[in-house]
A and B are shown apart, each in its own frame.
Chain A
Amino acid sequence: MNVAAPQSPFLQWLYRGYMLAFLLYLAAPLFAAGMFAFNDSMFPALPWNGFTLDWFFSSTEPKIGMFHDRRLLRGLENSLYIGVIVSALAVAAGTCNAFLFERKQFPGKSFFYILMIVPLVIPGVILGISILVFASMIANGLEETFGIEWDFLRPGLFLVILGQFSFLTTITSLVIAARLRKFDISLEEAALNLGATRLRVLATVTLPYLMPALFSAFVVAFLVSFENFNTTLMLVGSDAPLTITMYDRMVKVGSTPVLNAVSFFLMVGSGALALLSVVVQRGKE
């Protein structure tokens, strides 16, 4: 008997009903956003006019599918570009941080550890504006004193990458550090005793062990970067990532089923990536 569960059958059913209602609440907007991508209508609303894939693949007015919409594709491209770069950077920095905090002893360690977590508890909008302000101060200073124009310090892809990197690094550091903590140090010692150099031990023993964590840190960072809105909004220039493009469309043009198609595409894409990362994590443990 499970003592933690309610004992009366009525309460048990009530509890199950609550869980079901909660799952429906979770699924409802995702379902609604995805469903109307397939409705043969100009608006994402009932009545249901029959199934169509036009909102994905059609290339003729007035129904331009998402794969023929140049601005949405451009946004998707920017998102992928930003996501890959920022995740690679965040995984690299996160690995350094994990080794720093798991392997090294130095004065003020617990204070620095708190500093490492802090980016997670700063609202994204504030990270965005503070980096915008700081970069502009540097750019203005350079321009006034040396007459140098550093355009990459103005809103644009570079600042978006910096802004996302600033908090993604905390996430990747925590994921990688958690795996490194479980590593049995005697494996490294054995390899060293057998005459391997430190670099070789790192490359052949420690890093392969960390691989699943590196991979899932990359996936997590990529997904968070892809869906990030708050920080990105403050730093974006003319090259907008997909979420910003979609938001613009929503506010300026109003909702059309092509946005549902994008939503469906995003849900399937990120769901698949998240599942892949779970599977990899499970498989290696």
Chain B
Amino acid sequence: MARTDIGKLSLILLFAPFALWIALLIILPQLGIGYISLREKVGPGEYTFGFANYIAFLSEPIYWNTLLRTAWMSILVTAMALAVGFPVAYYIAKIARRRARAALFLMCLIPLWVSDLVRAFGWIVILRETGLVSTFLQKIGLVGGPVELLYNDATVVMGLVYTVVLFMIVPLVSTLDGMDNSLIEAGYNLGGSRFTVFRRIVVPYAMPGIVAGCIIVFMLTAGSYLTPILLGGKNSMWFTEQIYEQFVTRYNWESGATFGVLLLVFTSFVVWLGLRLTGQSLASTVAKD
């Protein structure tokens, strides 16, 4: 009897911090921005409630265009990170020898711990008008004057892929690592070509890792702030930038909260769709260390 009482007490004691954390820092604040987004200021201290902020969002093309642009660039970045990262993960997990594997993996992880800001700053030093690439091109005589490689979409995409590709590689390596080479061998023995083996054996096996990587990368990209602004300039039209502007520059919390809700709904929808289409669950992908 006393034993189950202790069990219950410890369950409550362990559950309390969890409940406080999730309720006070996650659920209630999200409800808070939902509430503010439905509020409209009609006078000092006077508010009405309705969907006016959402209607304002829809009737202003620059707002929803920014969201669409952020969305499609995030999807592009996710696809490119997968394309760039998969061969690297495959090499680390399946081809490199034991010692080289650990070293390569560590080398891939180190930039992960360097702030986005430092990485973006590094790209600025390389790509701007007085940067390394421009100086080099002038020196070898390929171009007459300084070239500006910053502030265009291609650079933003490249920089974003750089920032997130490691989050693609890590889950891919851990899934591919578990794959037995005999599966590949069996595929060849049964007469499969290189491409067939890749498509029918390697990719399905790596699916949980691919989904996990894509979800993390997509969320990070859609929610990123520094890279688009620093590499794309002030007119990079990124949705988080709009949120910041509404909140901090214009002090219009109602519309800022509306944008926040829209971004959250949108990214959640994409994550849900991705999980649904591939038949994975959030717990089995993202939380798998």
A125 touches B240 (CB 8 A): yes
Whether A32 pairs with B126 at a CB distance below 8 angstroms is: yes
> Out of A26, A125, A162, A259, which one reaches B244, CB within 8 Å?
A125
Tell me, in angstroms, the Cα distance from A29 to B121 when the chains sit together.
Answer: 8
Q: Is B286's beta carbon under 8 Å from chain A? A: yes
Determine the chain A residues whose CB is within 8 A of the CB of B132 once the complex forms. 32, 45-46
Contact A121 B282 (CB under 8 A): yes
Of all chain B residues, the one with the shortest Cβ separation from A112 is B18
Known interface pairs A125-B260, A230-B240, A267-B114; A131-B15 also in contact (CB < 8 Å): no
Contact A123 B263 (CB under 8 A): yes
Contact A133 B25, CB 8 Å, known A100-B18, A104-B11, A229-B117 = no
Known: A117-B282, A125-B240. A278 touches B121 (CB 8 A): no
Q: Which of A16-24, A58-66, A145-153, A203-211 contacts B (4 or more CB under 8 A)?
A: A16-24
Contact of B121 with A271 in the complex, beta carbons under 8 Å: no
Cross-interface CB contact of A33 among B91, B125, B181, cutoff 8 Å: B125
Report if A124-B29 is in contact (Cβ < 8 Å); known contacts: A100-B15, A246-B117: no
* A253-277 at interface with B (beta carbon < 8 Å): 255, 259-260, 263, 266-267, 270-271, 273-275
Nearest chain B CB to A273's CB is how many angstroms away?
8
Is A118 interfacial (CB-CB < 8 Å)? yes
Closest Cβ of chain B to A146, distance in Å, is 17
For A18, give the chain B residue with the smallest CB separation.
Answer: B87
Q: Which of A23, A31, A117, A123 contacts B264 (CB 8 A)?
A: A123
Q: Do the beta carbons of A263 and B118 come within 8 Å of each other? A: yes
A10 at the interface (CB under 8 A from B): no
- Kindly supply a per-residue 1/0 record for chain B positions 246-265, scoring 1 wherever the CB is within 8 Å of any chain A CB and 0 otherwise: 01100001001100100110
Is A116 located at the chain interface by the 8 A CB criterion?
A: yes
Are B247 and A129 interface neighbours, CB within 8 A? yes
- Taking a contact as CB atoms under 8 Å apart, the answer to whether B17 and A15 are in contact is no
Partner pick for A5 among B29, B84, B95, CB 8 A cutoff: B95
Residue in contact with A131 in the complex, picked from B29, B94, B117, B120, CB distance below 8 Å: B29
Number of A-B contacts (CB under 8 A): 237
Q: Choose from A130, A166, A198 the contact partner of B260 (Cβ within 8 Å).
A: A130
- Closest chain B residue, CB of each to CB of A230: B225
Interface pair B25/A43, CB less than 8 Å apart: no
| Residue A115 interfacial (CB < 8 Å) | yes
Do most interface residues of chain B lie in helix, strand or loop, or is the interface mixed? helix
- Are A266's CB and B115's CB within 8 A? yes
A28 and B126 contact, CB distance less than 8 A? yes
Contact flag A26-B11 (CB < 8 Å), given A122-B264, A130-B33:
no
Docked Cα-Cα span, A15 to B86, in Å, equals 12
The answer to whether B279 has its CB under 8 Å from any CB of chain A is no
- Output the least CB separation between A43 and chain B (Å): 7
Contacts of B215 in A (CB 8 A): 121
Q: Find B113's partner among A116, A198, A227 (CB 8 Å cutoff).
A: A227
Give complex CA distance A129, B25 in Å.
Answer: 11
Residues of A within 8 A of B30 (CB): 122, 130
Q: Are A29 and B130 in contact (CB under 8 A)?
A: no
- CB contacts (< 8 Å) of A127 on chain B: these are 26, 29
Residues of A at under 8 Å CB distance from B?
A: 2-5, 15, 18-19, 22-23, 25-33, 36, 43-46, 92-93, 96-97, 99-100, 104, 106, 110, 112-127, 129-134, 137, 162, 165-166, 169, 174-175, 178, 198, 223, 226-227, 229-230, 233-234, 243, 246-247, 250, 255, 259-260, 263, 266-267, 270-271, 273-275, 278
5 additional contacts (CB under 8 A) given A36-B125, A250-B121: A19-B91, A32-B126, A126-B243, A166-B26, A246-B117
Can you offer 28 A-B residue contacts whose CB atoms are under 8 A? A3-B188, A5-B95, A26-B107, A28-B122, A29-B121, A33-B119, A96-B14, A112-B22, A117-B282, A117-B286, A119-B25, A120-B216, A121-B219, A123-B267, A129-B247, A133-B32, A134-B29, A134-B32, A137-B32, A166-B26, A169-B21, A227-B114, A233-B244, A247-B226, A255-B124, A266-B114, A267-B118, A278-B106
